[in-house]
Every structure is written in structure tokens, then in C-alpha cells.
Amino acid sequence: MNIQKKIGKYNRLRWACRGVVILSTLTSIWANVLHSQAAMVPIIINSLPPVIILAGFEMSSRIPLWEGPWYHPRRWARPIAMVGITGIGGWLSYWHQRSAFFRYSKEEQTAMLLPLAIDGLMIIASVAILDLGDRVNELNAWLEGDKVTTYKPRDPEAPIKVKAEVGPSKKQLIADVFKRYPEWKPAQIAEKVGATPSYAYGVMKALKEEAEKATANGDMEPATA
């Protein structure tokens, strides 16, 4: 399967997971509303817990952590607050759904386990969307740079081709900057050379993999000599 087909497959799976998120969220809201009275205000109040769960998970998973010292309060304030808020929403949603399911099904096991399955499915589908998005970004980076190989300096005595007069490619620039500043992140290198972060990430990942392979081959050579 080529890269374009993989991207198409992952995009279809992402839409399927989005459908699961929407369906499970609406089901959770519906079950919470069943617990409420037949009035507008109680319905609105009881429909908030599933929304809080989904919003809290999205904010805590999609927004990167602050890149500072691990002990700094700013690094952990948002994740801790999101865990607490999402936990409150999950707790309220569970008991609302359990009460509604027991009222209509009269089965204790259904009332206990079905709310966990509904809200858990919503979170699992959201995680799948994030994972598939990362895969799509990686494949797009490979398409943008074709197949990335280890950068080698040009031989001064080699004949210069016409394309070389344009200047070094972005792959070569990324390789040079990455060699000088290996601690830099893809976004920093991308800004330095004028490339996209996803492309810089793909180039850096390929360079690291080839460096690891070269190191491993170098360690094996004495043993086979």
C-alpha cells in the first residue's frame, strides 16, 4: 500500500472515529437528560457532564505542555485542573446515567456498566483520532520530502549540476541545523530554515533512524571480523 492510500485510509478511519465520538457523546447526553425532570433548566444542567468530559479531555490532550522545568507550577497546573474537572464531569455523568438506566431497564448490571462503556468509548475514540492524526502528519512529511536520506557534504571536485546552483535544499538545511543544534525541536528548526514543522519532524526522524542504524552496524563489525 502506497503512502497516498495509507493517508486516505487513515483519514477515513478518523472520520469514523469522529462519528463514534459524536454518537457516544449524544448517547451520554441523552442518558443524562433521562435522569432530569421534564423542564428546560434541569435538562440543560444534566446535559453538561458529558460535554465537560469531552472538552476537558480535548484540552488536556491536544494542547502541549509548557516546555519548562518539570517542577514549575505552570507545567502541571493545567493538566491537574483538567483531570479534576474531567473527573467531576465523569462522576456526575455516571450517576445520572446509572439512575436513568436502572429506572427503565430494572437491571443492576446494565445500570452499573453501561455508563462506563458509553463515556469510555467516547474517550477511546478521541484518543484514536489523535493517534491517526499523528500518522497522517508523518506520512504527509514523507510525501513532502520524498525519501529522506543522510545528508553528505558535496565533493568539491565533483561536477556541479545545474540544479545545485539554486542552493541547498530544505532537507540539507534541516540536516545542517540539526547537526549543529541536536537539542532543537522540529518547530525551531522549521522556523530557522523556512520549512513546515511536520516536514522538519520527518527529516529529523529519518536522520535519527539512520544514525542509529549506522551505530548498530559499527558495533557489529568488530564481532564479525
Per-residue model confidence as pLDDT tens digits over 9-32: 989 999 999 999 899 999 999 988
Structure confidence at residue 7 (pLDDT): 86
Contacts 24+ apart (CB under 8 A), 214-221: 214/150
Does pLDDT of 91 surpass 80? yes
Alpha-helical (H) ranges within 36-72 are 40-46, 48-62
Does pLDDT of 175 surpass 90? no
> Rounded CA gap, 10 and 133, in Å?
8
> Rounded CA gap, 178 and 175, in Å?
5
Confidence of residue 155 (pLDDT cuts 50, 70, 90): low
C-alpha pair distances (Å), 189 with each of 60, 61, 64, 175, 207: 26, 24, 18, 9, 14
> Rounded CA gap, 136 and 90, in Å?
31
Closest to 10 in 3D by CA, of 192, 182, 136: 136
Structure confidence at residue 154 (pLDDT): 54
Structure confidence at residue 130 (pLDDT): 84
Does pLDDT of 203 surpass 90? no
Structure confidence at residue 19 (pLDDT): 92
User: Which is more confidently placed, 219 or 93?
Assistant: 93
Structure confidence at residue 23 (pLDDT): 92
Q: How many CB atoms lie within 10 A of CB 2?
A: 9
Q: Tell me what the mean pLDDT of segment 143-163 comes to.
A: 54
List CB contacts of 210: < 8 A, sequence separation 6 or more.
Answer: 149, 150
What type of residue is 114?
L
Confidence of residue 113 (pLDDT cuts 50, 70, 90): very high
Does pLDDT of 185 surpass 60? yes
C-alpha pair distances (Å), 77 with each of 52, 62, 67, 84, 157: 18, 16, 13, 11, 58
> Rounded CA gap, 64 and 104, in Å?
42
Does pLDDT of 177 surpass 80? yes
pLDDT over 70 percentage in the chain: 84
> Rounded CA gap, 18 and 133, in Å?
12
Kindly state the cell numbers that stand for 114. 453501561
pTM greater than 0.95: no
Q: With contact defined as beta carbons under 8 Å apart, do 189 and 178 qualify?
A: yes
List CB contacts of 168: < 8 A, sequence separation 6 or more.
Answer: 176
